[in-house]
Chain A
């Protein structure tokens, strides 16, 4: 108990470092809320009003991303672990979603999308802490001048991205981490890796945003970011007991298939929703989210058949997820044929990453977060720089030049890898020192469901 207390205090100190004057912040917040509640009457006329269609689409998209997380990712991951650890995975994903949703409105949104002044290249500020001053009339900009959506909707939509990114990481060290330590790590990593990377890539003034790095729906912010943290976690925490010696076959692949399917369905909100408006751009992202996924499922399936003699259900589902990851940064930027090529490439590359690469480096990334999300994300990020080309059917960007764009994309990838890797390493080590990262050998053998959560998934 003391250890838990100590780590919360540590957390408080770290937050204190970000916000040097918590108490000072609170007063202006109250004033700001008062000010905006009076304001609309005076200056309502000139401000653009959100379109009802756009608003509906964005709320629907937000719901779809929630569908990706709580049932989708949970079941996809849950089916892949052994029966004795099923509930631990479900608890971890659910718990992280709950935690991040609160942290996001407390300070996350403000730090990710605020204006950080001299630090704006890396991070926002705390002016919108507790969503200060935000009302139903507040609006957020979209990619079209003069078109806005309710800021509450934008906050909710972006909340789901922060939550799924943090939840994705658990696959790297599933079946052996302490639940409480994971919660503390998640809060730390979200604060010091997710928020800065999201700001750098998506916020006005962010370093990669201004550099022109393209990331339509979060290839770097979500997938590379989470994939690297998962790899670091797998290495810091160490292999599962019996890894490579005892069988650790997935306990329920039909659940994994249901999870993968929910991920695919939800991903339409993720990718097409990232267009922020219900327009042709969203339609393009929507279609790409079907065809890239289909292509990647096919190419993984085919590669398995050729290399191992049998095409597996898990392979088809894994290929689909790899395709979804790869098309994430590209969704609204490449043409459907470009998306298909991207999908065809990413399947075999990720198959190699989860088998050959993983085996040769010897780490135990339990559910292949690195192999599918980081590697697939890198293929997608670089591929976006290539297939955005109008000559290859992409939508093109101002002053496009393929070589330069690929270099910019690679810069984004590299910054994300280093940033997330270093932050994850420090956070894991810190949590390990204060409260320990790994369950005891006895608990690990018994299974986390009974040892950590005091319940069993299947009482039959």
Chain B
């Protein structure tokens, strides 16, 4: 099993969700986050006071999937979240040791 974590532009969330549901991904977790990467921040000016805003709002999306889904999931996220401009985000993949469905007690791939 794999854990896929993607940082994407907030307005791309719906497209990514649609692409993932279309391919049998059973659930995702979404968090509003802030961070910095290669995309520069911007400055805000209030009367005389200037503030540099380094952290930009992004969406963090997490999905636990079966090993054989990985390539298709990565491709789907990449395609749906891409604008071609700086700041599109990143996808991180890690091994997932165990999954438990709390309601039934199922474990492993059955629980996904």
Q: Chain A interface (Cβ within 8 Å of chain B)?
A: 247-250, 308, 310, 312, 314-315, 318, 351, 354-356, 358-359, 368, 371
Asked if residues B48 and A314 are in contact (CB atoms below 8 Å), the reply is no
Q: Which of B25-33, B39-47, B92-100 contacts A (4 or more CB under 8 A)?
A: B39-47
In the complex, A355→B46 CA distance in Å? 9
Extra inter-chain contacts (13) besides given A247-B51, A356-B48, A358-B48, CB under 8 Å: A249-B46, A249-B49, A310-B45, A312-B46, A314-B46, A314-B47, A315-B47, A351-B47, A354-B47, A354-B48, A355-B47, A355-B48, A368-B47
User: Chain B residues near A310 (CB, 8 Å)?
Assistant: 45
Asked if residues B47 and A308 are in contact (CB atoms below 8 Å), the reply is no
Asked if residues B45 and A318 are in contact (CB atoms below 8 Å), the reply is no
Asked if residues A318 and B47 are in contact (CB atoms below 8 Å), the reply is yes
Q: Which A residue sits closest to B49, measured CB to CB?
A: A248
In the complex, A308→B47 CA distance in Å? 11
User: Chain B residues near A315 (CB, 8 Å)?
Assistant: 47
In the complex, A396→B80 CA distance in Å? 70
User: Chain A residues near B45 (CB, 8 Å)?
Assistant: 308, 310, 312
In the complex, A248→B44 CA distance in Å? 11
Asked if residues B48 and A359 are in contact (CB atoms below 8 Å), the reply is yes
Q: Which B residue sits closest to A253, measured CB to CB?
A: B46
Q: How far is the CB of A343 from chain B (nearest CB, A)?
A: 18
Q: 25 pairs across A/B with beta carbons < 8 Å? A: A247-B51, A247-B53, A248-B49, A249-B44, A249-B46, A249-B49, A249-B51, A250-B46, A308-B45, A310-B45, A312-B45, A312-B46, A314-B46, A314-B47, A315-B47, A318-B47, A351-B47, A354-B48, A355-B47, A355-B48, A356-B48, A358-B48, A359-B48, A368-B47, A371-B47
User: Chain A residues near B46 (CB, 8 Å)?
Assistant: 249-250, 312, 314
A-B interface, 4 closest residue pairs, ranked by CB to CB distance from nearest = A355-B48, A247-B51, A354-B47, A354-B48
User: Chain B residues near A247 (CB, 8 Å)?
Assistant: 51, 53
Q: How far is the CB of B48 from chain A (nearest CB, A)?
A: 3
Q: B51-95: contact bitstring with A at CB < 8 Å (1 yes, 0 no)?
A: 101000000000000000000000000000000000000000000
Q: Which A residue sits closest to B51, measured CB to CB?
A: A247
User: Chain B residues near A351 (CB, 8 Å)?
Assistant: 47
Q: How far is the CB of B47 from chain A (nearest CB, A)?
A: 5
Q: How far is the CB of B25 from chain A (nearest CB, A)?
A: 31
User: Chain A residues near B53 (CB, 8 Å)?
Assistant: 247
In the complex, A356→B47 CA distance in Å? 10
User: Chain B residues near A368 (CB, 8 Å)?
Assistant: 47
In the complex, A354→B48 CA distance in Å? 6
